[in-house]
Amino acid sequence: MSVEIVTTKSENSRPVWFIAKNKLAEADLPSSISAWAKAHDFNGQEGRVLVVPTADGSIGGALLGIGSEDKSGQGRLLAGYLGRQLPAGDWHFASTLDDAGLAILAALMGGYSFDKYRENADGAVRRFALPEGINADEIIQINEAVTLVRDLINTPTSDMGPENLEQAVRDLGAKHNASVSAIIGEELLEQNFPMIHAVGRAGSQAPRLIDLQWGDPSAPKVTLVGKGVCFDTGGLDIKPASGMLLMKKDMGGAANVIGLASMIMDANLPVCLRVLIPAVENSIAGNAFRPGDVLTSRKGLTVEIGNTDAEGRLVLADALTLADEDEPEILVDMATLTGAARVALGPELPPYFTHGDDFAVEIAEAADKVADPLWRMPLWQPYEKRLSSRVADLNNVTTDGFAGAVTAALFLNRFVTKAKNWSHFDIYGWVPVERAASPVGGEAQAIRALYYVLKARFAKS
């Protein structure tokens, strides 16, 4: 069942009331609906949806419990449950909401389902009338970008290898009249991207660096870099079977920058946009890179390989070096990079790293504004010495296992010296347990917040 929004409320549209916990008596509901709610022990419990009938037994409306005050701000996404649980048909919000735009977006996001491989997908539709004063086009475009991210991550690697990821970028570029190119296979060595080549050369599809460019070259430069490891076996430092089950999502950073680029181009923001995606498979074969190898990066720094399962930072380093050569106003990289970030903050709260305090505040405020949670973590410089090597300029891992998300960010930091504002996002890209606006599966993280930052900075008044 899909979810849509319509600009005009139909005659058959049914109301949805948002009820806070223990506030049923104050909700000014018709007496028959209040009685129905009490009979079903509904009192605004968070996330509970109760459909209410008319006198003749047909569907008359619904109640959504929004619980108590939510200091995390995630309660503003509870309308996502409506996108999954309401019967098909026309609906509208009967309650006055502080952020109706976010609620309608949550309903759309909550109704997402990945049906590409299902034979009997439900074709029914839930339609929500757009609240007054809400920009329908922007809501639809943001939801389409989130859907694109989720679809890319959810697609198995058999249909989402480096070639397919390149095609996804080309499809997006064609939609927006952007130029798209790719450096593939041995050309990576010829054009000085040795670490991308090393990581991906054992894959069944050739490694590549995908490059999308859009916008006025004289406009402020915004560059997005996304980790596109389409599957990660761990390489010769092989993961256990259980560790590979979700590795189709290891291109989640690439998927998310593609989604953010979609938002930027849909909104026609006055920026010079560049998207760089190193797309590889970290596979095992006779030509796979090895523990103990020393790779020379595009920047000229040599890197000793302490672990082949820390490959994402290697491909990002070459791509970030290229991005940094343009001296962009804003440089963002996104990657499903470390398990340490999940240990520190869990799957719902991605950390971000940046030197710029003002930029960090912009990101934090945007994350709160749009309920796209993020948490700043430190680029703690004293830890950089833990990346030292006896034979090279640096190692790709530490030996003590501490502060893995921080040291990974510090590794990437060595390859960014010219960008005015750089931020690294260590995302999970996956929802392991269903949330209001997020079914289990691939997820867009941080891009709604980043879109808000870029829109606030660059959108024409």
User: Which is the catalytic residue, given 313, 414, 435, 448?
Assistant: 313
Instruction: State yes or no: is 239 an active-site residue.
Output: yes
| Cα 311 from Cα 288, distance rounded (Å) | 12
Helix, strand, coil distribution of the chain in percent, nearest 5: 35, 20, 40
Evaluate whether 359 touches 328 at the Cβ level (below 8 Å). no
Residues in contact with 190: Cβ distance below 8 Å, sequence separation at least 6, in sequence order: none
Residues in contact with 445: Cβ distance below 8 Å, sequence separation at least 6, in sequence order: 256, 350, 372, 425, 427, 428, 429
Please give, one letter per residue, the 3-state secondary structure of 88-113: CEEEEECCCCCCHHHHHHHHHHHCCC
| Cα 233 from Cα 248, distance rounded (Å) | 10
Nearest Cα neighbor of 102 from 121, 78, 120 is 78
| Cα 458 from Cα 177, distance rounded (Å) | 20
Nearest Cα neighbor of 417 from 317, 272, 302, 315 is 317
- DSSP lists the bridge partners of residue 222 as 273, 330
User: Which is the catalytic residue, given 239, 369, 376, 455?
Assistant: 239
| Cα 358 from Cα 90, distance rounded (Å) | 44
Instruction: State yes or no: is 274 an active-site residue.
Output: no
Catalytic residues: 239, 313
